[in-house]
Each structure stands twice: as structure tokens, then as C-alpha cells.
Amino acid sequence: MRVMLVDVFVFVAVVLLLFFVFFLPPGVRRGLEMTASSPPITWLTSNYVHEEWDHLAGNVEGFAMCMVIYFALVPVLVVLGFGPRWVKGFSLATHLGGLVIIPVVSSLVWLHFLRSAPQVPTFGFSSSVSAYFGAYAALWALATAEALDVGKNWRIIYVELQLFLLLLTPASRYPTHIAALLAPLAQYMPFASTMLAVLLAVRGPRTLHKFLEKIPPQVKQPRRTGMVLLGLLLFPYMLYAPLILDSLYPASAVMPGTGGIVNLVAHFVGMVAGYSLACLYIVFTRAWKK
């Protein structure tokens, strides 16, 4: 509970910061946005700037959905034997990456695309949303591998396949070598890729029973508790992952009602970097040996 309270505090603090920046005078706010000629500090400050209410509301909603996935996974991880110290370390790495490191990295990548239009500003919290989603998708992959008995020899491949399924949405909606093959499914790809991820994790009814057997016998009503934990493991991810993917990689790269361009590069870099950072933490802490 202490770890989750810290995460709640971070979530509230970040949301308040986003609203504070949104209500700054327009001249001050625009000075925080990044262009190709702006000072390096804007590589980070631009991540917290929004010009339109819909843009801010969409990013806060995506951030909240990411946190719901995380809060649902924490009790499952505790039952699987991941102690508070491990969870706290993962949380710290995710916040540091999602709020500071990955937004700067995304900005540096995006600067390459601003060379042809040096005065075009870029801003928005979606780099962080992408990073958090990528990190929690990797955490979900770890939790499902541990809970549903993915063989230790296959876990690296399993985690890579889970990332591949996440990438199906941008691959189907924007010009890529496989976009033509996936084009008929592009509209439904966020939901299809999530369902494929769940099927890859579950694989069959026997894996669900194996998870129920892992509930400590001293727990009151272990089977009912196991069913609740199983629901927390699967259903929040099934519900929110498609919505997050659809918002990060919309069918049109133009923002509805604004004419602005969705920063797809930042979304892609943020998600992959968040996923990779979480995997590095998992490997560094030898979490697979649990």
C-alpha cells in the first residue's frame, strides 16, 4: 500500500503540474515549447505543455489508464513473490524514465524531423504516456509469464513477442513494409493485438488453474482470492491497452479539430523505450529467477 500511495502522489502531482502549465500566460507557455532552434531545456519542458483542452484531457486520460493497469498488477506481483523493495524500484525507474529521460530522448529524435520546418513547435505529455504504457506492458508480460507458467527457456522470446504485438498497431496504420498486409485489420488492430497478447499469455485453461494453485493456503478463501487476482491480471490490460494504443496511433495522423500533426515519432520512441527500460530493470534485478 505504501508503494501504491507513492504512485498515487506522483500521479496527482504530475496532473496538477500539467494543469498549472496549461493555465500559464500564452507567451510563457509557448516559451516552454520545443522548436529546432529552441534551447535544450525545452527538450523536457515541452513534454508538459498543451495548447488545447482536448489535447490535455486526452493525455491525462491515457496517463490514468496506464496507472490503473499498474495498480491492478501490484497485488498480483506481491502474491507471486515480488517484494515491496522490487516494486518500489520498478516504480522509481518507471517514473524517472517516463517523466525525464524518455521525453528528452523522444525530443532528440524528433529534432531530426524538425530540420525542414525549424519554427514548428512540438509539445504534449504523450511521450510520457507512451513510456508509461510501454513500461507497464512489459510489467504485464513479466506478471503473466510468472503467473501463467511461461517456460523459463521461452520467456525472452515471450517478452519480445509481446512487444511485437504492441507494434502491430502502428505497423498497420502507417506506411510500413507490412502495412499493406495488415491494412484490412487496421481499424481493429489495437483490439486484435491486445487479444492476441492475452491468448499468448493464457494459452489454455490449465494455465489459469496453475495460477489459482499459487495462492498461499493461509489466505482466506484462496480460490475466490485467486479469481479476483486473475481478473486484475487480465481484464484491466484487456480493457485499457486497446484504448491507449488507439489514442497513441490514431487512424489519422492529424489531430481532430486542430489540424496539428500527431507526434507519432515520440509515441513510438516512448513506447519502445519504456518497454526496454522495464525489461532492463527486470534483467538487472534477476526477476526471472523468481
DSSP string, 186-217: GGGHHHHHHHHHHHHHH-SHHHHHHHHHTS-T
Count of domains observed in the chain = 1
Angstrom distances, CA of residue 192 to CA of 13, 166, 196, 243: 34, 10, 6, 12
Winning range, highest mean pLDDT, from 45-54, 183-192, 214-223:
45-54
Greater confidence, 79 or 181?
A: 79
* pLDDT of 205 higher than 80: yes
Greater confidence, 44 or 153?
A: 44
Predicted structure pTM score: 0.92
Which one, of 275, 280, 245, 290, lies nearest residue 76 by Cα? 290
* pLDDT of 3 higher than 80: no
Winning range, highest mean pLDDT, from 8-12, 200-204, 255-259:
8-12
- Which residue type, as a one-letter code, is found at position 22? F
Q: According to the model, what pLDDT value does residue 177 have?
A: 57
Q: According to the model, what pLDDT value does residue 180 have?
A: 60
Going by pLDDT thresholds of 50, 70 and 90, the confidence category of residue 289 is low
**Of 57-61, 154-158, 208-212, where does mean pLDDT reach its minimum?**
208-212
Q: According to the model, what pLDDT value does residue 223 have?
A: 80
- Indicate left, alpha or beta for 82 from its phi (over 0: left) and psi (-120 to 50: alpha): beta
Going by pLDDT thresholds of 50, 70 and 90, the confidence category of residue 183 is low
Per-residue pLDDT tens over the stretch 58-99: 999 999 999 999 999 999 998 888 888 999 999 999 999 999
Burial of 174 (0-12, 13-18, 19+ CB in 10 A): middle
* pLDDT of 148 higher than 70: yes
Average pLDDT of the residues in 94-119 = 84
* pLDDT of 255 higher than 60: no
* pLDDT of 115 higher than 70: no
Q: What's the angle, vertex CA 130, arms to CA 127 and CA 133, rounded to 5?
A: 150
Average pLDDT of the residues in 200-223 = 82
Q: According to the model, what pLDDT value does residue 118 have?
A: 57
- Name the maximum alpha-carbon separation found in the chain: 64
**The 3-state secondary structure of 69-106, one letter per residue:** HHHHHHHHHHHCCCCHHHHHHHHHHHHHHHHHHHHHHH
Q: According to the model, what pLDDT value does residue 259 have?
A: 45
Structural domain for 257, as ranges: 2-289
What does the radius of gyration of the chain's CA atoms come to, in whole angstroms?
20
Q: According to the model, what pLDDT value does residue 42 have?
A: 92
Going by pLDDT thresholds of 50, 70 and 90, the confidence category of residue 280 is very high
| 135 vs 158: CA distance, rounded Å | 16
Q: What is the mean pLDDT of the chain?
A: 87
